[in-house]
Amino acid sequence: MLLKRKLGNKQLVISGKALVQLLQKLGFDVVRINGSHHRMKHSDGRITTVPVHKNEDLPKGLLRKIIKEDLEMHLEEFDDLLLNS
* Span 44-81, pLDDT tens digits: 999 999 999 988 999 999 999 999 999 999 988 998 88
State how many domains the chain has.
1
Residue 4 domain-assigned?
A: no
Q: Decide if 54 is inside a domain.
A: yes
Which residues span the domain enclosing 39?
Answer: 12-84
Q: What is the CATH number of the domain that holds 46?
A: 3.30.920.30
In a domain, 45, yes or no: yes
Interatomic CA distance for residues 1 and 12, integer angstroms: 13
| CB atoms near residue 44 (< 10 Å) | 8
pTM of structure = 0.85
Q: Decide if 62 contacts 71 (C-beta within 8 A).
A: no
- Alpha-carbon distances of 49 from 12, 25, 71, rounded to whole Å: 19, 16, 11
3-class SS of residue 34: strand
5 lies in some domain: no
Does the pLDDT of residue 7 top 80, yes or no?
Answer: no
Report CA Rg, the chain.
12
The mean per-residue pLDDT over the stretch 19-43 comes to 96
